[in-house]
Amino acid sequence: MSSLQKLTDRYRALSADLKNADLRGTFALAAALRRFLSDPLSPERAEAEIKALLDDREERFLELVRKRIYARRGSPYLKLLTLAGCEYADLEENVRRHGLEATLEQLARQGVYLTADEAKGKKEVTRGSQSFWVSPGDLENSPSTPGFVTESSGTSNPPGRFGGSLNQLAVGALIRSIFSSAHDLFSYSHAVYDAILPAGGGVRNILSAAKVGIRTDRWFARRVPHNTALAGWYNYLVTYLIVGCGKLFGPGFPRPEFADADDVHRIVGWVLEQKREGKLCCITTAASNATRIARVAWEMGASLEGTKFVASGEPLTEAKRELIERVRATVTTSYGFEDLWVRVGYGCANPAYADELHVTQHMLALIAHPTPLAYDGPAIHPLLFTSLHPLSPRFFLNVENGDYATLVKRDCGCLFEKVGLTLHIHGVRSYEKFTSEGMNYFYGDLFELFEKTFPSEFGGGPGDYQLVEEEDDNGQTRLTLLVHPRLGDLDEERLLLRLKETLARGDRSRRFMANVWESAGTFRVRRQAPYASRRGKILPLHVLR
């Protein structure tokens, strides 16, 4: 890259950061934080408000659709509904006669949905002979009250920017209160291991905890790279403004203590210190970070008995759960994504599966697409999300996020069920695919291989293996298996053989696909630490774009 091009890129980045640095909004945030923190949410109030939201969810949906779709001629959802021949009166009649979820399933069958790529403007929407593009801004609702801007972690796509308000966070705290009561977390010492702004997880967790009356004792923060010094300065300013307001008006906020992946022994040390004082600990972090902490504790010979992890950001697999429980800790989970700025689900207090969650039905409607993805393999029904609250930063109507899961209603007897949140999900996985030699492979079933099979045969544990799709110097797409250098010597030829066997397992199309890749020299091994997101998430597949 030429020096002129580098200067041009830096200028563009600086211009974007100046535009995003909303100093007036930052000062308004300080006053709003005082109001937010001065009105704590009791468990009784949270339960009553969730029940009220559940009682009128269909009416709220119809009101949102009327105002944000049928009253907006440029709405992409209106185009889809028009193509399906669905007027507002038709929609209202269907909801009242058949119910909300049944209506959404029927709309999906008629083409009223957006894939993840369509919603992001990365792919043209095509239904029959009609096609159009969606701009992500078409789905956004500008926050009417002070808040802050966050970015997604960029696990499988470039980071996206999302604005959210404190009012949205206050509504999201309703379920946080129920979750804390269901898992008896009000008596615990709390820590967060997550990045500062622009990553939203750390700030949101600490603020929502404060809203329900929980003091966060420690904030172990991952470092986040910034495009320019200005962006870094601005995000530090907003982060420390929130911390300062938390100290003045809330139950107390910790300063962020930067801790990289190699520094998690400090977190173990904090847990041991709390144990000596007779206290239980709760650590909220990404699932990979939870297993990283557990691994370090195991290597130190330390027991984390009395510690509960709240893991998010990636699937909580059986292998991760087993590693955490090996050091006598327990784990539950939460699930969400940046676009909606609310949690999709929180861990059941009486789970039948390691990653079983209760869906936040008072905030959204969740269905599985009635039509599976078109590919040769087991049926995958993408999750479809619909917003049910006017404060949602983006209005979704049957929008995919790239995940699929098992949905079920069952009696579990925990507090979530008593409040009325009866829909459970488990087995959340991404159906994103990697592509090489013109062939696609959905990677949702690679967790078992990378987190259990490989470690049992070659050593290591979750987070030590990762498949990377990348181009070599000749422009050929390669599938590179990354193996953490700490594992020492291993039989790379046998390792690749196990990978090929797994990719070829199943129907004839998979065997053909694996044979094509092998004959093309697509596979290779490289000793390198797997790629992690800014939150520390390590997924089985990483695509270098």
The model's pLDDT over 171-199, given as tens digits with 9 standing for 90+, comes to: 999 999 999 999 999 999 999 998 888 77
What's the whole-number mean pLDDT along residues 512-536?
77
**Using H for helix, E for strand and C for coil, what is the string for 14-50?**
HHHHHHHCCHHHHHHHHHHHHHHHCCCCCHHHHHHHH
Residue 154 is predicted with a pLDDT of 43
What's the whole-number mean pLDDT along residues 478-484?
89
What's the whole-number mean pLDDT along residues 468-481?
72
Please name the helix (run of DSSP H) or strand (run of DSSP E) that holds residue 495, with its range, or none: helix 492-504
User: Cα(545)–Cα(539) distance, rounded to whole angstroms?
Assistant: 16
Asked whether residue 118 carries a pLDDT value surpassing 90, the answer given is yes
| Residue spans of beta strands (DSSP E) within 166-271 | 189-193, 216-221, 256-258
| pLDDT confidence band for 279 (50 / 70 / 90) | very high
Task: Give 236-272 pLDDT, tens digit per residue.
Answer: 888 888 899 999 998 888 999 988 777 899 999 999 9
Q: Is the pLDDT higher at 91 or at 318? A: 91
Say which CATH superfamily domain 147-431 falls into. ANL, N-terminal domain (3.40.50.12780)
User: Cα(157)–Cα(362) distance, rounded to whole angstroms?
Assistant: 29
Residue 280 is predicted with a pLDDT of 98
Residue 357 is predicted with a pLDDT of 98
What's the whole-number mean pLDDT along residues 35-45?
94
346, 409, 423 from 351: Cα distances, Å: 11, 12, 13
Q: Do residues 274 and 189 make contact, with C-beta atoms less than 8 angstroms apart?
A: yes
347: tokens are 């861990």
* β-pair partners for 542: 468
Residue 2 is predicted with a pLDDT of 54
DSSP state of 114: B
Q: Do residues 224 and 15 make contact, with C-beta atoms less than 8 angstroms apart?
A: no
Q: Whole-number mean pLDDT of the chain? A: 85
Enter the pTM of the model. 0.80
| pLDDT confidence band for 438 (50 / 70 / 90) | very low
Q: What percent of the chain has pLDDT over 90?
A: 53
Task: Give 293-331 pLDDT, tens digit per residue.
Answer: 999 999 999 999 999 999 998 888 888 899 999 999 999
User: Cα(351)–Cα(359) distance, rounded to whole angstroms?
Assistant: 13
